[in-house]
Structure 1
Amino acid sequence: MLLSDLLLPALWALARGLLALVVRAHSLLRGLGTTCSAAAARTAVAAPALRPLLATLFALPPREHIGSRPRPPTILGVAVAEEVQDGDWPAAIEALGRLLAWARSRGFALVLLYEPSGTLQQPHRLRQLELKLLLQRLQGLVTLQTGWQPGRKAAQPEQQQPQPQHPPADGGMMALLLSAADGQWPLLEAATAAAKSAGSSDGQQQQQEEDVARTNGHSAAAAAQDAAFAAPARLRVRLQAVGGPLAGAEPDFVLVTGPTLTLAGFPAWLVRSSEIYGVGPVAQLAAEPLDTAMQRYCRTKQRFGK
């Protein structure tokens, strides 16, 4: 037997052992470096004066990435995506009263409370909800409104604020009670108005002027892209013209009750960039799942540019 036949297996086993040791050491060093960098980043946030020193020792993330969070939410959407029996409505209304009290305590300015059947818009259910707010000492602090207000004129596009950035100074809050019909008729009326405008001579002339302005100095593809980017704003203006200013208020996030995570006909144009969270049955609404959804939203980095 040759000496090489004895040495090669031993050398091969030694090389494999050394390679495994190097890989484990490298993995350990990477994990240690990641942990140290994360700890240094947290220290830099807590003590900004130490950031220059920590930056020389660790690979800190860019300053704008540290603590980057969306603005505090001011508009809440609630979709009752379950069928509530007649005998269960008292418990459901009591839970919705607690939800409105929670929303006001968290600084929301507007709550879009959607229930497809429109039961909440019925006078006796509305009085029951008002009584719950009275018992929670929220009378005058929470204003209930059923459906949109077509009579109020929307602002001009250049003056428009799609949604309030801050709650009212007096701490008041509005709760808008919506049904499935409120998610349909504004679209139909806006489409009808747009069709009438396009069919008129003034509408055709305005459309031609807009087409010339968009294509002036741009390719057809660029003009089409610009039109696609401007489409949501144009749709919002048309919907506010028929449904009032609140028809353009987009919720920061929507709480969905029921066993299935579905919006169940919630006005679709309002939720194009909203986060959606399930919170369980409406009768079992409590502060804990609501706070969990709020924390989840506030801890999520913005993804849609709102």
Structure 2
Amino acid sequence: MMSSLKTFVGFNLILLHAFCFINLSIRAAYSVSTEPEVRRLSFRELLRVRRQACADGTYQHDGKTCCLCAAGQHVKDHCKISADDRQCEFCQARSTYNSEPNSKMSCEPCTSCSHENANLEVEEPCTIYKDTKCKCKKDHYCTSGTGTCKICQPCDKCDSTGVKEPCSATSNAVCNEESKGLGGGPIAGIVFTVLFVVLFCAGLILLRKKIQERFTKPSDSPNTSNPVTDPLLPVDMAPHLTDVAEIVGWKDMQAVARSSGMSTAIESALLSHPSDSDMWTIELLKRWVEKTGRTASVELIKVLQSKNKKSKAEKIREKLYGGNPAMQSCSA
């Protein structure tokens, strides 16, 4: 009986020791495996909180690190205790903006597209996050691009020659060159017919002259040669500015002014008469005449001839000098 009791007590002691050993092992294992994990998660959480506090970055002010204000806002008060206790304020809608996170005490003013002589209009309105985007008005262009353009110029009109390349927001229209030769078949036929008639009449006149010389005694008086025509003389262009400007046109008037170093006068003429290309030409011609002086009428014809604009030069000569032989020259 005693032997059985001892055996039973011994077996229970063995079970008790085994239970205690297993329990201690489990606790040790849990302690080893979980404690580092808890510390790691707490560190990550701390980083996340710090990042959220200054999501757009930081800046330095009076030795303190402050959080930047978001785009569309500006700093009202700098931080004093913690990085995120600075005060931010929104920009004024349609008036000011800030496109990036910043530490500015104010917002940037929106760009205006309403200058009376700039020929611009709004493409995208200003918001608190971005500036106004301007573009050229219809039939105007700017070579520097719509994003930075401050003045748009009117596109050239090609009424007489036709458009070779249309005007765009960043380039002027390109007109076809004026025809220097004969036109189509019907026009060529008419021209050849007229030339034939003129040559035929000239031949008859020469033939008649020779016949008359043969049967007429030579005159005792010496032959006098035809008088040499005088060169062009300067005339006052003031009464003819409007007519001459209409003949020259804005494009060629710009070329005449640039050849005299008057690029600034071109921009001044554009701004003095907004959206009126005829007045631009008159104003620029007037300033060119004032700079050139009393010989302006002669110089204008010479410049146009040098730029292969002989048709316009001839029209201006007819307008200024008419049929006065004392003031014209075939070589002018």
Q: Under a length normalisation based on structure 2, what TM-score does the superposition of the two structures give? A: 0.24
Judging by fraction of residues, say which structure has more helix. Answer: 1
Larger Rg: 2
